[in-house]
Amino acid sequence: MDLSIPRPPAVSLPPGSPPAASVHAGGLPAASAHPRSLPAASAHPGSLPAASAHPRSLPAASAHRGSLSTAGARPGSLPAASAIETLRARIARIEHGAPRPRGPALLLGPSIDAVLPAGGLTLGALHEAAGAGPDTEHGAAAALFVAGILARHPGPVLWVMEHADLFAPGLAGAGLHPDRVIYAEAGKPDAVLQAMEEGLRMPGLAGVVGEVGGRLTLTASRRLQLAAETSGTIAFALRRSRKHDDPALAEPSAAVTSWRLAALPSPPPLPHAPDTPGLGRQRWRLDLVRCRGGKPSSWIVEACDATGRLGLVADIGDGSAAPARQRFLSASGGSASRG
């Protein structure tokens, strides 16, 4: 007795009909046998067919036009895991401050240079300086500090200001002769940054100084840092603000070092008149607030003299009878003050 199930009769399809593999004997596609039936591949209630999981989904083989499959990777390219490990290792070296070869630097003095990773202020880099307390608005001490540094670095200096309020003889008192300075009045804070960047791209300058009022964004400081690195010219951003506690002055930037200077009472200048204070050489509290690859430090110094050198006040806190100051004898360094 033949128990085989007879096959349904073949259905001939008119031209343009769906393929025979997707047609039921009754003339309906297999996937639409019932209005509420679900395909076998989507057995779970509420699931969608695998081929059409979402109107905007992409097939697995083409998940993203820019993605690279393992089979199609270029010969010699690193797998994703290896690339990630390589990046992690590079970031770790940066975070731990891997030693770098020392490049040219401007010396400030033995005690200060010992703290700086480059043994002085790095050339081809951006540095920040600002006043503290009431001097935050005018930045006189910071300007003299920068002038004394540049006084020992030969060549012309571009000094960019928002408004012309700089007293040139004061720079000369710090060792920076006015004949070496090119003054530029920008008129607006953004124009100061633009002029600084253009100046850093010019060859032959000993340094570029810009008096920046208000914020110095991370993007703007990075542009200045990159321009300084490219040309090898040192750049200084003199930060000024009408508020001594302006939070913009504490915002991070791409500057390699950041300095704050506060004026202190001057010592008695005459041995026979020790009770007459305030007429001696200016004194500052010099704070290294941030230093890439270094640590913050603080010193009590005497303002730069006519040669651009600082004087370190020794033994000021313990009342010892040691000499009241120690002159810096560095051959090419110096710090200055704006009078």
Q: Largest alpha-carbon pair distance within the chain?
A: 139
The pLDDT value recorded for residue 329 is 33
pLDDT per residue rounded down to tens, the chain (339 residues): 555 555 555 555 555 555 544 444 444 444 444 444 444 444 444 444 444 444 444 444 444 444 444 444 454 455 677 888 888 877 866 655 444 444 578 999 899 999 999 999 999 999 999 999 888 888 999 999 999 999 999 999 999 999 988 888 999 999 999 999 999 999 999 999 999 999 999 999 999 999 998 889 999 999 999 999 999 999 999 999 888 788 888 888 999 999 999 999 887 766 777 777 667 788 999 999 999 988 899 999 999 989 999 988 864 433 333 333 333 333 334 333 333
Task: Give the start-to-end residue ranges of the domains of the chain.
Answer: 105-266+277-327
The pLDDT value recorded for residue 8 is 54
Tokens read off for 47: 């699931």
SS3 191: helix
The pLDDT value recorded for residue 32 is 44
CATH architecture of 105-266+277-327: 3-Layer(aba) Sandwich (3.40)
The pLDDT value recorded for residue 207 is 97
Are the CB atoms for 49 and 41 separated by under 8 Å?
yes
Are the CB atoms for 308 and 148 separated by under 8 Å?
yes
Q: Tell me whether strands 297-302 and 283-291 are parallel, antiparallel or unpaired.
A: antiparallel
Report the distance separating Cα 171 and Cα 339, nearest Å. 7
Report the distance separating Cα 209 and Cα 139, nearest Å. 13
The pLDDT value recorded for residue 4 is 53
The pLDDT value recorded for residue 6 is 56
Cβ neighbours of residue 127 under 8 Å, at least 6 residues apart?
121, 234, 235, 236, 237, 255, 256, 257, 258, 259
